[in-house]
């Protein structure tokens, strides 16, 4: 039985998506490295912690938010700990878990690195498409993300949460 193939039109769409998946992360990573000495992954970890209640998350939850293995997250958190931006503590509610806690210096780091990062995101993404396209992009990205993995993802806090 022959394998189903994608159509020529689908291949053109996929080529555009694959190019985006290569170029956008590289551009975001380069800006953060240059301006803040952070990888895009590290910035995401700091941001997730900064927006969490008490700036604290279980490492397993943080790994899920980062779409990361615990091993990769642990290596990143070790680098962030060395810089004094994150610390690990045993979860007092359940000693089987480890919490990642953003330090005051970590909060300052993410607060300082976020404006330039968001400016680049705005310039590369939102300034290049219409508001309607941005809404569609969000919808499409969520549908594809769930098709890949149904695990919960990080969501920015709503204005009513802050």
Could you report the per-residue pLDDT of 80-112, keeping only the tens digit for each? 999 999 999 999 999 999 999 999 999 999 999
Count of the separate structural domains present in the chain:
1
> What is the 3-state secondary structure of 47-113?
HHHHHCHHHEEEHHHHHHHCCCCHHHHHHHHHHHHHCCCEEEEECCCCCCCEEEEECHHHHHHHHHH
Residue 124 falls inside a structural domain: yes
Whether residue 14 lies inside any domain: the answer is no
The whole-number pLDDT of residue 161 equals 57
DSSP lists the bridge partners of residue 86 as: 102
Decide: 41 and 30 in contact? Cβ < 8 Å: no
In a domain, 93, yes or no: yes
Decide if 5 is inside a domain: no
pLDDT digits (tens, 9 = 90+) for 130-151: 999 999 999 999 999 999 988 8
In a domain, 67, yes or no: yes
Is there a domain that residue 94 lies in?
Answer: yes
Say if CB 31 and CB 122 are below 8 A apart.
no
The answer as to whether 15 is a domain residue is: no
Confidence tier at 155 by pLDDT (50, 70, 90): confident
- Domain containing 123 — which CATH number? 1.10.10.10
Q: Is 116 domain-assigned? A: yes
What range does the domain containing 50 cover? 23-150
């Amino acid at each position: 039985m022959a394998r189903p193939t994608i159509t020529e039109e689908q291949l053109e769409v996929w080529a555009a998506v694959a190019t985006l998946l290569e170029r956008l992360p590289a551009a975001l990573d380069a800006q953060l490295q240059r301006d803040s000495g952070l990888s895009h992954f590290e910035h995401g970890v700091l941001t997730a912690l900064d927006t969490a209640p008490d700036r604290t998350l279980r490492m397993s939850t943080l790994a899920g938010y980062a779409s990361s293995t615990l091993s990769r997250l642990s290596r990143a958190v070790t680098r962030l700990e060395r810089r004094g931006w994150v610390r690990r503590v045993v979860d007092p509610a359940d000693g089987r878990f480890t919490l990642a806690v953003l330090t005051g210096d970590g909060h300052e780091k993410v607060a300082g690195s976020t404006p330039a990062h968001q400016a680049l995101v705005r310039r590369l993404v939102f300034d290049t498409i219409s508001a309607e396209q941005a809404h569609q992009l969000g919808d499409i990205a969520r549908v594809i993300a769930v098709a890949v993995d149904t695990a919960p993802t990080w969501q920015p806090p709503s204005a009513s949460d802050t």
